[in-house]
Amino acid sequence: MNCSMLRAASRPLQTLRRSANVRTTSFPLQNCRWASSAVFNWEDPLAASELFTEEELAIQDTARQYCQERLLPRVLEAYRNEDYDRNILLEMGEIGLLGASIHGYGCAGASTVASGLITKEVERVDSGYRSGMSVQSSLIMTGIYEFGTQEQKDRFLPQLAKGKLLGCFGLTEPNHGSDPGSMETVAREHPTRKGYYSLSGTKTWITNSPISDVLLVWAKLESTGKIKGFLVERSKCPPGTLETPAIKNKTALRASITGLIQLDECPVPVENMFPDVEGLAGPFTCLNSARLGIAYGVTGALEDALSRAREYALERKQFKGNPLAKYQLIQKKLADAATDAAYGTLAATQVSRLKDAGKSAPEMISMVKRQNCDRALANARTLQEIFGGNATSDEYHIGRHVANLFVTQTYEGQSDIHSLILGRAITGIQAFV
Amino acid sequence: MNCSMLRAASRPLQTLRRSANVRTTSFPLQNCRWASSAVFNWEDPLAASELFTEEELAIQDTARQYCQERLLPRVLEAYRNEDYDRNILLEMGEIGLLGASIHGYGCAGASTVASGLITKEVERVDSGYRSGMSVQSSLIMTGIYEFGTQEQKDRFLPQLAKGKLLGCFGLTEPNHGSDPGSMETVAREHPTRKGYYSLSGTKTWITNSPISDVLLVWAKLESTGKIKGFLVERSKCPPGTLETPAIKNKTALRASITGLIQLDECPVPVENMFPDVEGLAGPFTCLNSARLGIAYGVTGALEDALSRAREYALERKQFKGNPLAKYQLIQKKLADAATDAAYGTLAATQVSRLKDAGKSAPEMISMVKRQNCDRALANARTLQEIFGGNATSDEYHIGRHVANLFVTQTYEGQSDIHSLILGRAITGIQAFV
Amino acid sequence: MNCSMLRAASRPLQTLRRSANVRTTSFPLQNCRWASSAVFNWEDPLAASELFTEEELAIQDTARQYCQERLLPRVLEAYRNEDYDRNILLEMGEIGLLGASIHGYGCAGASTVASGLITKEVERVDSGYRSGMSVQSSLIMTGIYEFGTQEQKDRFLPQLAKGKLLGCFGLTEPNHGSDPGSMETVAREHPTRKGYYSLSGTKTWITNSPISDVLLVWAKLESTGKIKGFLVERSKCPPGTLETPAIKNKTALRASITGLIQLDECPVPVENMFPDVEGLAGPFTCLNSARLGIAYGVTGALEDALSRAREYALERKQFKGNPLAKYQLIQKKLADAATDAAYGTLAATQVSRLKDAGKSAPEMISMVKRQNCDRALANARTLQEIFGGNATSDEYHIGRHVANLFVTQTYEGQSDIHSLILGRAITGIQAFV
Amino acid sequence: MNCSMLRAASRPLQTLRRSANVRTTSFPLQNCRWASSAVFNWEDPLAASELFTEEELAIQDTARQYCQERLLPRVLEAYRNEDYDRNILLEMGEIGLLGASIHGYGCAGASTVASGLITKEVERVDSGYRSGMSVQSSLIMTGIYEFGTQEQKDRFLPQLAKGKLLGCFGLTEPNHGSDPGSMETVAREHPTRKGYYSLSGTKTWITNSPISDVLLVWAKLESTGKIKGFLVERSKCPPGTLETPAIKNKTALRASITGLIQLDECPVPVENMFPDVEGLAGPFTCLNSARLGIAYGVTGALEDALSRAREYALERKQFKGNPLAKYQLIQKKLADAATDAAYGTLAATQVSRLKDAGKSAPEMISMVKRQNCDRALANARTLQEIFGGNATSDEYHIGRHVANLFVTQTYEGQSDIHSLILGRAITGIQAFV
């Protein structure tokens, strides 16, 4: 079974596990008889790992090892040059990281928590790399898995799982961000080709669109006015009917590739349409999966920011040779970040468990996506202060995390929009308009 | 067994369970196939109740019923008049709420989570009532249970569990708040009475001291300079050796009673001293137990503030007859509060489970005590804005919660102090001085 | 001239001026040649006093002396017992503090800045005392001065200026807080008394209503549907037509008296109606005057909170005998508060000068009222943390300031409402509904 | 006189002045008789322009015209490519923007306010462009003007004023950021060249160092251990004794050029040393001048961010075709930003006036530098949210402002350091160590 490598992984990543157990000196408020058996681990302050199974921990370790050894070394140049290496998805496919919670089709069939831990490890390196993976795993693979015909699943999922086919997800349009229901992309009966639809319209801010082989495009069926999902295969599109120009000079997520999808009377066969799902239920199912991944993922970026800030604070000396780590104002920033990372991990884990038990609601995902992104961003910004002027050097990585995390707060439901989703769920009244 | 009432409790508290299931109208970002089986409950947004056992839920229901039916009706007058009804502890004892996590001695022997849920329900009514209970359950009963001789346990615990004896915990001194290690209260060998110590010193901000029968006083043993714990029995103190004047005109926690403990050569028999524990390990064990209760408890106060603010926002109309609940700025306040209450509950539950598994560390408690109190306070203040001028009327209860929650942030480790405890645990460097 | 005492005041209040000039020790970032001529005064960090005239400074000194010597000693008991001494307005009238910016009628005819400095000094003691004064000075006196007939001015203003007549301002109704245009109080032609209107309706949260002799009540004229102002004289109201019960058990502003105005077919002669002003222009003119006073006033409360927190931090020792003032986390709180107090004073001064030059706009007042109240409240809450558990004792005064300042944020335009007023002014689009 | 162009400037910049006077519709809380003469201008909400002289306004207009017409069109490419056009300083010199507050030497001799308004207009375009100018005007020109010999002034100032010579300021070292007193750069008596010092050491994060002709370097005189200032002329340095490599791949301020100064036994003649000033008084005088410029400047960046966010919010439609500007959550962000920009401008103006009157203290500058930078950054980040995903496109400029403003918070006294400077001034106790 081709995901055996992932499942079998269990070697401890000693080289990655940093000195977790700080021995604190004797001081007020600390000694405690009943708790003396446990040692506080600043990298997992509330012992979330106690909630994970052996398999989940093994998957996390495998993901972490790959990310630290293979992704971290190339992120700096990738971000500088806005250069996404599409081999990354191939590599991820090889070790089973893609579509990890899908059963069958060469996927790992792991838990939603395991999936979340993978996104966390990828985002510990870079939110852009995680975005590239989320598109593949949560948006297109989940879409096909949930809504595709058996033929569509058989044809696409195994290749997508291996990263041999790349996919993207076309929902957002230039004039319709938070309000996709107003989309203008349309699917008409093709005027000349029997059994084909003709798709026209423009999608924007589409991660991976310039390098995608199969594009999941949501469009309104002209005949019904209802939104439907179409799998557009680049190789089969006549010239001029599909363009996917990249968006350059981004201010963040520069290690991922983003572009438009421009469809001009592009013919798509009927059998490439999702048969049953209609309206926003389709895209929102995919987005909810992705959002839960984001909620997990950003805690990885925050933990990396914390770890780097801590290290910097311990090494950097100011005023009589004291490390920055000795200053109260610094310690408070570290404590705040550690707290929010720990809380966010617990909440994402809870919703993941509920999801696997069939007990999650979309508003739960709004809650953890919003809160974890908001807090990761806020804390990363505060941690950035610790680096002083050196934050301006990209080699400290903190500026990159800060810029990236702003986007996570914004995409797949901007923070305020999720506030209003929650507000509606709490009050029963909608306040969008 | 006298806690049977608590254990047997299982009737659903329909009258208390408010309309949990808001049916949201069709709108963007909401429909989701895989999650359609669950409905979002704004009163338990991340379904923390899924983490609780049947017994724990039953205990919570019993506590909630008592608190809503018996405590809520008297809190307004009690707060206005700074009048604490000592029968409350008797009532709590009757239904098994005191020392609920202690095994034996007439206590329920419930889990730490169950204990936490009790504090949550009490604090849903009032933080002062919860403080009065915490002192009894966590501070003195835990102290005796952990450090007392068998004779001390047998003599005091059953009576304390029933609320027939009241206790308090004397650690803080007028000049030593965050730094109890510098305490000045001293225990000398009694100059005239053989087998007695003579205690002198002053403790302040001691919840329940004016009505306590047995006072757990921490004092430095003159002969060793080490801190030891003494059970001072009021009935046995000669006149003039023990005074416990109440502190009046408090700005918060007015439904609890607070006072000083003034010891003037007070004779205490050797057998009333904790035999083994020495230094701050003793009081900190008790405090950690109390702090975990506070971390749970404040989520109750926050949830009540949220519930009241929501109700007010739904009923209060402004501008063309719209309820306040329709305004975006209002909805965001509600969403923020619901999020922090849900996150805080998950974190307190996690640490409670770890504690029962022998895997908790004191810094974990610092983290959840600090964060839950900080967030409960911040959100309660924001919710208070929803009430506008009516917040000034005590009948809306919100001003009371706000005033109380400030104290929870301050006592048993002020928030900044816990930041520095966490900072020390993260960096290995202490920044207290 | 009966305000001569105020105008002549010039003796330096040495006893009140605390040690302003802290000599800082030599340290980084400090020595500076060009600035060596000035010494930083933490009580006036940006030297706002340089913007005031001799007269304005003299008025401030007089007000300060009165407030510190006469008001401060009684505030604790007044707040505890919700007991407002109506002699206070008489005393204020005697030294010319009431209606200070009005010309003639026995008023000081001082600048708007001078008026603002008076409110600042009163609120340095208590926001409730300032509220009581604002109602008299800004709400009723300004109302009569701006909109009254000559006969109304002659009849009421001199007595109001001396505090021999007390007034109040009835706009807010139980169901209409932020939206007074929907008021329900009505003035009909009196069915039996010629030349009289008959007023019916209820006003709430009216400062001073229980002790007022003349009540400025805004009501809709039945014949036109337009809002008009009426001067209701208590002594002339038939029994049962005017009731002004006090609202008790307030959570804040307890040193002021607040009540309802209940009008039941109360006859008011036509000559007691403001002749020309119609609609909300009348009450909003008064409110704008009061709001500017609030913007000034709250900086006084904040400065007092800062001064008390600083003193406490210098005196309170923790951990090896260091004063709290030595800790970074404490210093940051002090620095933040000093900054916002200084900025707020500059802004209030600027708008006051613009007002006297006929160049102010209502949105400017929304801006300074909102910001100064928000920041005073936020900082007072942060300063409160410095006091630890002692904040719970009312003798430290900080809890009182915190509770009061919440109300200032709420009344006369709740903070969010002012945000939307500003938002509308910035965008040209209203978002109230 | 070669600054005549600046002084004579008086044409109104109609093309730049955007629609200032929004006519608000009739609505609650707005009409106000006494204030009816003034109209609220959202671009200058508290009418700070009333505080400026005709000359100052003319200078601002000239600066604004230059910046909008000449700088704005090139900033996007410059930032993308980290490419600073040194002609900018030449252009600025031509119209008199450099060293504008210096009297004589071809400088404008304008007020400190005028100088501040220039920095504000430059930073309205880009903080990096402002940094490049600040170095020239405040750091090196102010240094020479305050501490140089007459010969040094005559030789350097006129050329620096015209931008024909470029300068930089070398204080910060790799291991000494907030604590320059620990610098390691040393000046020894030159072993072979009579009348020369030999300078060795490394400075980092030096704006303009790679393109500077004259470098003001602070070094410790070996003989005394005291810090002295040296004017290092690049053209006269032997090969290998001075290197100024650029720092590339910055995460912010990419439109400015930054580098190191590496001195390796670089010979500097005695007559290039500042004769009298010793210790940190020299550099801190310069820094205080620059900091005041920053305090002014960042309000320009914030105002630009606000203006762009407002425009975006008015144009962008979501949900039923409503512009974003109609949403409460958006309006609050705009109101907050406008408020802080207005307050910051008033405070910077006040300190500038005090400076010209010889009444400013360094702590005042700490206060306005800290607060204005903190608030500009916080608000720019909040405004960035309005742009949603489009913030990721650099063509909306907001991401650039956000990244830049983080650096302004950090350099020339990191925000926390200024907190502690203020804390020391308030308490008399230093908390740096």
Sort out which chain C residues have CB atoms less than 8 A from B182's CB and list them: 319
Cα distance between residue B220 and residue B229, in whole Å = 9
Instruction: Write out chain B in H/E/C secondary structure.
Output: CCCHHHHHCCCCCCCCCCCCCCCCCCCCCCCCCCCCCCCCCCCCCCCHHHHCCHHHHHHHHHHHHHHHHHHHHHHHHHHHHCCCCCHHHHHHHHCCCCCCCCEECCEECCCHHHHHHHHHHHHHHCHHHHHHHHHHHHHHHHHHHHHCCHHHHHHHHHHHHHCCCCEEEECCECCECCCHHHCCCEEEECCCCCCEEEEEEEEEEEECHHHCCEEEEEEEECCCCCEEEEEEEHHHCCCCCEECCECCCECCCCCCCEEEEEEEEEEEEHHHECCCCCCCHHHHHHHHHHHHHHHHHHHHHHHHHHHHHHHHHHHCEECCCEEHHHCHHHHHHHHHHHHHHHHHHHHHHHHHHHHHCCCCCHHHHHHHHHHHHHHHHHHHHHHHHHCHHHHHEHHHCHHHHHHHHHHHHHCCCCHHHHHHHHHHHHHCCCCCC
Q: Tokens 């105020």 appear where?
A: C6
Positions of A marked catalytic: 412
Cα distance between residue D331 and residue D314, in whole Å = 11
pLDDT of D11 = 32
Sort out which chain C residues have CB atoms less than 8 A from A320's CB and list them: none
Looking at this protein, which amino acid is placed at residue D432? F
Cα distance between residue C221 and residue C187, in whole Å = 5
pLDDT of A393 = 94
Looking at this protein, which amino acid is placed at residue D218? W
D30 contact B CB<8A? no
| Full DSSP string of D177-245 | SS-GGG---EEEE-SSSTTEEEEEEEEEEEETGGG-SEEEEEEEETTT--EEEEEEEGGGSPTTSEE-P
A328 contact C CB<8A? yes
A25 contact C CB<8A? no
Instruction: Write out D124-163 in H/E/C secondary structure.
Output: HHCHHHHHHHHHHHHHHHHHHHHHCCHHHHHHHHHHHHHC
Q: Which residue of A has its CA nearest to B350?
A: A46
B432 contact C CB<8A? yes
D296 membership: H or E segment, kind and range: helix D281-315
Q: Which residue of A has its CA nearest to B328?
A: A431
User: Distance from B329 to chain D by nearest Cα, in Å?
Assistant: 6
Least confident residue range of B10-19, B268-277, D214-223, D338-347: B10-19
DSSP state of A353: H
Cα distance between residue B145 and residue C78, in whole Å = 46
C317 membership: H or E segment, kind and range: strand C317-318
In three-state secondary structure terms, A187 is: strand
Residue A178 has pLDDT above 90, yes or no: no
User: Distance from C327 to chain A by nearest Cα, in Å?
Assistant: 8
Chain A: partners with 3+ C-beta pairs within 8 Å: B, C, D
Sort out which chain B residues have CB atoms less than 8 A from C407's CB and list them: 389, 391-392
Cα distance between residue A41 and residue B422, in whole Å = 11
Tens of pLDDT, residue by residue over C395-416, are 999 999 999 999 999 988 899 9
Please name the residue ranges forming H helices in D15-126: 54-66, 72-81, 87-94, 112-125
> Would you say B17 and B61 are in contact if contact means Cβ atoms under 8 Å apart?
no
The two tokens of residue D104 are 């004589």
Instruction: Classify residue D151 by burial, with Cβ atoms within 10 Å: 0-12, 13-18, 19+.
Output: exposed
- Judge: C42–D330 Cβ closer than 8 Å, yes or no: no
D30 contact C CB<8A? yes
Q: Which residue of B has its CA nearest to D431?
A: B433
Positions of D marked catalytic: 412
Q: Is the dihedral of CA D116, D121, D127, D129 positive or negative?
A: negative
B332 contact D CB<8A? yes
Tens of pLDDT, residue by residue over C179-214, are 888 899 999 999 999 999 999 999 999 999 999 999
In three-state secondary structure terms, A267 is: strand
Q: pLDDT band at A9, cuts 50/70/90?
A: very low
- Judge: C359–D39 Cβ closer than 8 Å, yes or no: no
* % residues pLDDT > 90 (chain A): 86
Residue D14 has pLDDT above 80, yes or no: no
Sort out which chain C residues have CB atoms less than 8 A from B412's CB and list them: none
Q: What is the mean pLDDT of chain D?
A: 91
Q: Answer with the residue of higher pLDDT: D177 or A277.
A: A277
Q: Which residue of C has its CA nearest to A433?
A: C433
In this complex, the residue of B30, B287, B336 whose CB is nearest that of residue A284 is: B30
pLDDT of C37 = 59
Q: Which residue of A has its CA nearest to C328?
A: A328
The phi-psi region of residue A310 (left if phi > 0; otherwise alpha if psi is between -120 and 50; otherwise beta) is alpha
Q: pLDDT band at C22, cuts 50/70/90?
A: very low
Q: pLDDT band at B178, cuts 50/70/90?
A: confident
User: Distance from D180 to chain B by nearest Cα, in Å?
Assistant: 23
> Would you say D356 and B356 are in contact if contact means Cβ atoms under 8 Å apart?
no
Mean pLDDT of B372-378: 98
> Would you say D128 and D166 are in contact if contact means Cβ atoms under 8 Å apart?
no
pLDDT of A418 = 95
pLDDT of D35 = 40
- Judge: C253–B384 Cβ closer than 8 Å, yes or no: no
Q: pLDDT band at D319, cuts 50/70/90?
A: confident
Tens of pLDDT, residue by residue over C212-266, are 999 999 999 999 999 999 999 999 999 999 999 999 999 999 999 999 999 999 9
B336 contact D CB<8A? no
The whole-angstrom distance between residue A429's C-alpha and the CA centroid of its chain comes to 30
Residue B112 has pLDDT above 70, yes or no: yes
Q: pLDDT band at D37, cuts 50/70/90?
A: low
Cα distance between residue B422 and residue D303, in whole Å = 39
D328 contact B CB<8A? yes
* % residues pLDDT > 90 (chain B): 86
β-pairing, B186-189 vs B103-104, is unpaired
User: Which residues are within 8 A (CB) of C9 and not within 5 positions of it... i.e. 6 or more apart?
Assistant: C58, C59, C61, C62, C65
The whole-angstrom distance between residue A100's C-alpha and the CA centroid of its chain comes to 13
- Judge: A178–D403 Cβ closer than 8 Å, yes or no: no
B382 contact A CB<8A? no
Cα distance between residue C182 and residue D27, in whole Å = 12
- Tally the C-alpha atoms within 13 A of residue C160's C-alpha that lie toward its C-beta: 34
User: Distance from D319 to chain B by nearest Cα, in Å?
Assistant: 10
- Judge: B331–A427 Cβ closer than 8 Å, yes or no: yes
In this complex, the residue of D318, D329, D392 whose CB is nearest that of residue A250 is: D392
Q: What is the mean pLDDT of chain B?
A: 91
Tens of pLDDT, residue by residue over A180-238, are 888 999 999 999 999 999 999 999 999 999 999 999 999 999 999 999 999 999 999 99
User: Which residues are within 8 A (CB) of C181 and not within 5 positions of it... i.e. 6 or more apart?
Assistant: C227, C280, D28
Neighbours of D87 (CB within 10 A): 11
pLDDT of B37 = 59
Looking at this protein, which amino acid is placed at residue C43? E
Sort out which chain B residues have CB atoms less than 8 A from C182's CB and list them: 319
User: Which residues are within 8 A (CB) of A97 and not within 5 positions of it... i.e. 6 or more apart?
Assistant: A6, A63, A66, A118, A122, A133, A137
Q: Tokens 């206590």 appear where?
A: B107
Sort out which chain D residues have CB atoms less than 8 A from B328's CB and list them: 327-329
β-pairing, A167-170 vs A214-221, is parallel
Q: pLDDT band at A37, cuts 50/70/90?
A: low
Tens of pLDDT, residue by residue over A380-426, are 999 999 999 999 999 999 999 999 999 999 988 899 999 999 999 99
Residue C169 has pLDDT above 80, yes or no: yes
Cα distance between residue B324 and residue B391, in whole Å = 15
User: Distance from B27 to chain D by nearest Cα, in Å?
Assistant: 11
Neighbours of C243 (CB within 10 A): 17
Cα distance between residue A122 and residue C336, in whole Å = 39
> Would you say B133 and B89 are in contact if contact means Cβ atoms under 8 Å apart?
yes
Sort out which chain D residues have CB atoms less than 8 A from C50's CB and list them: 354, 357, 359
Mean pLDDT of C105-117: 96
ipTM over 0.85: yes
User: Which residues are within 8 A (CB) of A30 and not within 5 positions of it... i.e. 6 or more apart?
Assistant: A24, B280, B284, B362, B363, B421
C332 contact A CB<8A? yes
Probe site for chain A from B427, B430, B432, B433 (most A CB atoms < 10 A):
B427
Looking at this protein, which amino acid is placed at residue A37? S
Neighbours of B362 (CB within 10 A): 24
Neighbours of D387 (CB within 10 A): 24
Chain C: partners with 3+ C-beta pairs within 8 Å: A, B, D
C426 contact D CB<8A? yes
- Judge: C339–D370 Cβ closer than 8 Å, yes or no: yes
Give the dihedral of Cα atoms A48, A49, A52, A54; nearest 10 deg: 180
Q: Which residue of D has its CA nearest to A319?
A: D179
In B78-107, the residues whose Cβ lies within 8 Å of chain C are 80
Sort out which chain A residues have CB atoms less than 8 A from D319's CB and list them: 178-179, 432-433
The two tokens of residue D312 are 């975006």
Tens of pLDDT, residue by residue over B150-163, are 999 999 999 999 99
pLDDT of D1 = 34
Tens of pLDDT, residue by residue over C343-373, are 999 999 999 999 999 999 999 999 999 999 9
Positions of B marked catalytic: 412
In three-state secondary structure terms, A282 is: helix
In three-state secondary structure terms, A225 is: coil
Q: pLDDT band at A28, cuts 50/70/90?
A: very low
pLDDT of A22 = 34
C129 contact B CB<8A? no
Sort out which chain A residues have CB atoms less than 8 A from B328's CB and list them: 416, 419-420, 423, 431
- Judge: B280–A338 Cβ closer than 8 Å, yes or no: no
Q: Which residue of B has its CA nearest to D328?
A: B328
* Residue C189: strand pairing partners: C197
Sort out which chain B residues have CB atoms less than 8 A from A299's CB and list them: none
Chain D: partners with 3+ C-beta pairs within 8 Å: A, B, C
Q: What is the mean pLDDT of chain C?
A: 91
Looking at this protein, which amino acid is placed at residue A260? L
Instruction: Classify residue A197 by burial, with Cβ atoms within 10 Å: 0-12, 13-18, 19+.
Output: buried
Looking at this protein, which amino acid is placed at residue A423? G
The two tokens of residue D178 are 């907030």
Tens of pLDDT, residue by residue over D131-170, are 999 999 999 999 999 999 999 999 999 999 999 999 999 9
